[in-house]
Amino acid sequence: MFLMKEALSLLNGVIPIWKEKNMTSHDVVFKLRKILKQKRIGHTGTLDPQVEGVLLVCLGEATKLVELLMDGEKTYVGEVTLGYATETEDRYGEIVATKAVTTMINPTVIDEAMKTFKGWITQVPPYYSAVKVNGKRLYEYARENQTVERPERQVYINSFERIADIDYDEKKQTQCWKFQVSCGKGTYVRTLAVDLGEKLGYPAHMSELTRMATGGFNSDQSITIEELQEAVNNNRVESVIFPIEEVLSGFPRIILSDVAYADVKHGKVLADDYFEAGNPLHEMTVLCYRDKAIALYQVHPSKEHLIKPYRMFISNINE
């Protein structure tokens, strides 16, 4: 058992966890620390407790990739409901506005309205969010019934489409439909649903949400916490961890010689054509030694013709 604990403490890589409802993202990290006997664990973007879906958990040296993975595209499936709005912009908050949908809105009208949200759009974060204003999170203002000017933000929507037939409830005088959205960092899907409702002339809220993909990983690649525990119990935990090399497979790669490794492992600033004379490195590149990623180098932000580390993964390799 001691050997197993020692091995688990050295894990480096990413596990796509399927976070279930009624769990916080912090709950997931806490459970994985206990299961893997490893403290150095982080996640790449909070999911609300009521939202299930893909949560990337980074282990060891891969925690240095959290920021990079958070910048990646995310895909959600959800549901928008017209007819009433809530204080939290989802179905769990108190109702703050109502307007009966007396006649079903034509699907074509809805589809055309959704198309207008493609590309760069401006959002105002919801009050029930972790965005800070004057050193205080918005949800703290909301709980104290205080108002404050919320900062606008620019977010990118790659696609926003209806994926099912419309459900019109004549008795409740509400209308809802399923959607899929692919979006960039910082997008509030709840706010997207509310803004769509406003464009259609009705108060609205996001009535369901599931994150299907994030940071290059999707639901098919995810495992539950119970499945991870089973893998640990059966001594096959490494089979469910994506190594750093695979996580960074979308970047150019350079295999280092022994001489180059001696320079890179110390995080040296190098000439941009250090690896190939006359062919300067011009984009973020993974540097590998003995089949292990040891660094991610980038063009120096302030000095011409030089490159420097973006992240170092030296403990990813056993010398």
CB atoms within 10 A of CB 280: 15
pLDDT given for residue 152 in this prediction: 87
Residue type, 301: P
pLDDT given for residue 2 in this prediction: 34
Q: Judging by DSSP bridges, how do beta strands 95-98 and 119-123 pair with one another?
A: unpaired
As a dihedral over the C-alpha atoms of residue 72, residue 15, residue 44, residue 35, rounded to 10 degrees, the angle is 180
Q: Domains of the chain (ranges plus CATH)? A: 2-69+216-243 (3.30.2350.10), 74-214 (3.30.2350.10), 248-316 (2.30.130.10)
pLDDT given for residue 139 in this prediction: 75
Per the annotation, the verdict on 48 as an active-site residue is yes
pLDDT given for residue 7 in this prediction: 44
Q: Phi, psi at residue 108, to the nearest 5°? A: -65, -40
CB atoms within 10 A of CB 107: 12
Q: C-alpha distances in angstroms, 166 versus 93, 111, 169, 183, 195?
A: 23, 11, 10, 23, 18
pLDDT given for residue 319 in this prediction: 59
pLDDT given for residue 137 in this prediction: 82
pLDDT given for residue 3 in this prediction: 38
Q: One of 48, 90, 111, 195 is an active-site residue; which one?
A: 48
Report residues of the chain scoring pLDDT below 50.
1-7
For the packed helices 189-200 and 107-115, what is the interaxial angle rounded to 10 degrees? Answer: 130
pLDDT given for residue 9 in this prediction: 52
pLDDT given for residue 146 in this prediction: 80
pLDDT given for residue 140 in this prediction: 80
Closest to 12 (Cα-Cα) out of 233, 241, 289: 241
